[in-house]
Amino acid sequence: MKILMTGFTPRTVGSTKLLYSYMSNTSVIKKGLVKAGHTVDQRTVTLDETTLTNDYDVALIGIAVPQSLSSRFWFSALWAAEQFGPSRTRFFVDDWLLHQFRSQLESGLRNPEKRFYSLPQRHCFEQAKAHTQTWVKWYNFLLKEKYQLLLPCFPWANTKKLLPNLSHIQPVIFDPTPLPFTDPEVLCGSSEPVVLKEQDPDDRDRTWTLAAMRDVGPWIEAQRFDWPVVQYGNKRKGQEVVTERELLDIYTTRWGILGAPYPVVDGCGGWRARYIHAALTRSILFLSPDEGRQAGPPYNLFRSIVEQASTEELAGIADRQRAHLLANTWSLDQLISNLDRYVRGE
C-alpha cells in the first residue's frame, strides 16, 4: 500500500525544524510500516490538493489537542481526511495525552469562527476560512463518531483511562518498545550505533535524575527524597536542556531515574521512553504508586527501600526491571504485524 502520513503537529508531518528532539512514536509507526512493505510518504498537505486519493491508498493522520500551539497543521490534516473519507482514513497519536481533546473539540463547535481562526500561524490559515463547514464536519466526527485510534502504550495499559471522556473512540494499541532497542535513530536521533560506557556499580552516584519540560516540582517535594534530585529540561525553571543522547550518558553515571506522573492519566500505562532509558543504562526507574502498580512488581517501589539499598541490591532492582520490561512488551514482529493490520483495516 502507498500511505500518506500527515497530522496536526510538526512531528507528525515529518518536519525537521523541531524545537525539541526526543523519542517519537511517529517515527516508530513510519519505520514499522516500511518494514511491513508499505510505502510511506510523510508530509504536509495544502488546501488546493484535491486528487490525493489518486496517489495514495489510505491517509494516516496524527491527531492532537487542536488548540495547542504545536497543532499548526490541523487544517491541512483534516483536509486530507476530507479527501479520503472515514473508510480510507486511519488516525494515530504520537503523544497519548488527550485529556483535553474532548473539551477543545466542544469549544470549537460552540464558536467555530473564534476557535478555528484565532491562531494565524496555522498552516493554510488564510485558505482555511473558506472551508469552515469542513472543519465543523470533522470536529463532529472526532467528537461523536466511532473510529479507531492507534495509541502508543504498554501491553498492561488501561486504555479507558488513557482516553478520558472519549468512550466512542476504539483504541488500537501499539507498543513501540522493540524499535528503540534496535534503532539508534528512534532511540535518540543518532545515525550511528549508540555505545554506552559501562560504569563500575560502586562508582555510580546515588542520585535521582529527572528530565521533563513541565514543572514537576510539587511531585518531587511530596516524595521527600533523601538522594539528591538533578533536573533537566524546564527552561522556565532555569534547568539545563540536554539531548536524549546526552541524557543516556548521564543516566549511566547515576542509579536513579524519575518518571513523574502525568495529571489525570496517572497509572494509565501510556508508553514512555524512560522505561527504555532505564533498561538500556541498567538504572532504576521510580514511578508514582499508581503507575508502578500498573507496570508490575519490579516497578512498584518504595523510595526508602531503594535509597537504603546496597550497591548489589540496587543492581538487582535495575536488572529485575529490565527483565520484566523485555518479557512483557512486544517483539519487533508483533509491532510490524499489528501496524500492518491497522493500516489495512483488518
For residue 96, the model assigns a pLDDT of 87
CATH of the domain at 296: 3.40.50
Does residue 184 form part of some domain?
no
- Residue range 142-188, pLDDT digits in tens: 999 999 999 999 999 999 889 989 999 999 999 999 999 999 999 98
> Do 53 and 70 reside in the same domain of the chain?
yes
Does residue 266 form part of some domain?
yes
Q: What are phi and psi of 286, to 5 degrees?
A: -105, 125
For residue 237, the model assigns a pLDDT of 80
pLDDT bucket at 83, cuts 50 / 70 / 90: very high
Q: Residue with C-alpha cell 550505533? A: 193
> Do 249 and 205 reside in the same domain of the chain?
yes
Does residue 186 form part of some domain?
no
For residue 168, the model assigns a pLDDT of 96
> Do 152 and 248 reside in the same domain of the chain?
no
Q: pTM score, two decimals?
A: 0.94
Does residue 295 form part of some domain?
yes
Angle at 65 (CA atoms; ends 239, 10), nearest 5 degrees: 65
Neighbours of 85 (CB within 10 A): 10
> Do 28 and 76 reside in the same domain of the chain?
yes
- Residue range 307-331, pLDDT digits in tens: 999 999 999 999 999 999 999 999 9
Find the mean pLDDT for residues 236-250.
Answer: 90
Q: Which domain holds residue 247?
A: 191-328
> Do 29 and 41 reside in the same domain of the chain?
yes
> Do 204 and 134 reside in the same domain of the chain?
no
> Do 128 and 233 reside in the same domain of the chain?
no
Pairing of strands 89-92, 58-62: parallel
Does residue 182 form part of some domain?
no
Number of domain units in the chain: 2
> Do 84 and 231 reside in the same domain of the chain?
no
> Do 141 and 239 reside in the same domain of the chain?
no
> Do 152 and 9 reside in the same domain of the chain?
yes
> Do 92 and 135 reside in the same domain of the chain?
yes
Residue 37 has pLDDT above 90, yes or no: yes
> Do 6 and 151 reside in the same domain of the chain?
yes
Does residue 135 form part of some domain?
yes
Does residue 248 form part of some domain?
yes
The number of C-alpha atoms within 13 Å of 72 and in the hemisphere containing its C-beta is 14
Are 300 and 135 within 8 A, CB to CB?
no
Dig out the grid coordinates for 288 from the structure: 508514582
Dig out the grid coordinates for 248 from the structure: 543516556
Dig out the grid coordinates for 278 from the structure: 532505564
Does residue 290 form part of some domain?
yes
Alpha carbons 150 and 144: distance in angstroms, whole number = 17
